[in-house]
């Protein structure tokens, strides 16, 4: 699991804070043509609020987060993939993924699926630092969750995809990738034609690199090359040596989908082991997040996902 490698690497971390309670009505959502800093900040504040008590799996706090995700999906005309948005885990008690779908518009290509995912759980209540014991999990992984929610809202409202897109938020990642380990074989049993899986993990602060994000399994497929081509930006996605060194390809929620489907399934991340000090720390809060960076990155991913969903052929492939 990606988190355990990071924990071993980041010793002595610290800072952070957001205190907004997600109320039942939540307020109006973004109707702009693109993702806005306002909408990104709104979601981030909701997901990293103290009232969610760190979103530990099986707790009331993560249930509030799931309710909010469900609200955004429904408001964006994203349909439940199963009978309801919440899909109870078979491998962890009182926890569930939140899974929606935007059907493709093409009579044939709609039977092919892209899956966009992130984990929305975190570690909950931990040892206190200066009387704060809530590990809010803003970067880890409210940031990735926000990207998925914004993309779901965009495609739910715009309907610009010929292929169908599944939007999945995973619980119990911090327990050992359990949410994705539950969903991947379940989808495999339904015999869906999965084209590719794109996972978002810790994208809340910019890298000190010449590219915006790195991708795990960089050399295993042409996904990075195609993403840069689709974005018309040669430096959107790059290679981080530590990702290969720590074998991060197998340590996040992309991996169960690779195991089940043997299709390109990879994670995008902007945490580079040097640019954020608060991994699994009470100071991983909204105040530490770079909202303009997140907004820019998510907006750059819109044409990438759009083209993935619209090419006539499956252009993203494993390298021979």
Domains and CATH numbers, the chain: 2-308 (3.40.630.10)
Supply the pLDDT for residue 320: 75
| Residue pointed to by tokens 């715009």 | 158
* Of 76, 128, 120, the residue nearest 95 (C-alpha): 120
Supply the pLDDT for residue 176: 98
Strand-pair category, 193-200 with 213-215: unpaired
Q: DSSP state, 56? A: B
Average pLDDT over residues 114-129: 98
Q: Are 86 and 70 in contact (CB under 8 A)?
A: yes
Residue 152, SS3 per DSSP: helix
Res. 10: pLDDT tops 80 = no
Average pLDDT over residues 233-260: 97
- Percent of the chain topping pLDDT 90: 89
Supply the pLDDT for residue 29: 59
| Residue pointed to by tokens 């327990």 | 175
* Of 45, 24, 42, the residue nearest 32 (C-alpha): 42
pLDDT tens-digit series, residues 71-111: 999 999 999 999 999 999 999 999 999 999 999 999 999 99
pLDDT tens-digit series, residues 150-179: 999 999 999 999 999 999 999 999 999 999
Supply the pLDDT for residue 21: 42
> Model-level pTM?
0.92
| Residue pointed to by tokens 């992309």 | 254
pLDDT tens-digit series, residues 23-63: 455 665 555 567 999 999 999 999 999 999 999 999 999 99
Residue 132, SS3 per DSSP: strand
């Amino acid at each position: 699991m990606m988190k355990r490698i990071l924990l071993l690497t980041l010793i002595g971390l610290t800072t952070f804070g957001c205190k907004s309670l997600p109320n039942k009505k939540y307020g109006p959502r973004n109707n702009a043509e693109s993702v806005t800093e306002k909408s990104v900040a709104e979601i981030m504040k909701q997901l990293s609020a103290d009232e969610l008590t760190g979103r530990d799996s099986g707790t009331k706090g993560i249930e509030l987060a799931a309710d909010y995700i469900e609200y955004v999906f429904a408001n964006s005309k994203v349909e439940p993939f199963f009978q309801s948005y919440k899909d109870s885990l078979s491998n962890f008690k009182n926890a569930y993924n939140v899974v929606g779908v935007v059907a493709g518009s093409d009579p044939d290509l709609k039977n092919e699926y892209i899956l966009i995912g992130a984990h929305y759980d975190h570690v909950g209540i931990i040892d206190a630092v200066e009387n704060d014991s809530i590990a809010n999990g803003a970067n880890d992984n409210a940031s990735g969750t926000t990207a998925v929610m914004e993309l779901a809202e965009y495609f739910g409202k715009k309907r610009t995809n010929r292929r169908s897109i599944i939007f999945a938020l995973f619980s119990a990642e911090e327990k050992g990738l359990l949410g994705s380990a539950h969903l991947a074989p379940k989808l495999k049993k339904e015999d869906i034609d999965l084209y590719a899986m794109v996972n978002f993990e810790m994208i809340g602060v910019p890298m000190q690199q010449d590219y915006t994000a790195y991708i795990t399994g960089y050399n295993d497929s042409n996904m990075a090359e195609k993403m840069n081509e689709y974005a018309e930006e040669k430096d959107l996605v790059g290679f981080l040596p530590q990702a290969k060194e720590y074998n991060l390809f197998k340590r996040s929620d992309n991996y169960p989908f690779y195991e089940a489907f043997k299709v390109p399934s990879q994670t995008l991340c902007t945490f580079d082991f040097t640019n954020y000090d608060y991994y699994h720390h009470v100071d991983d809060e909204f105040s530490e997040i770079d909202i303009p960076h997140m907004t820019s990155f998510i907006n750059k991913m819109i044409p990438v996902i759009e083209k993935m969903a619209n090419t006539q052929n499956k252009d993203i492939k494993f390298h021979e």
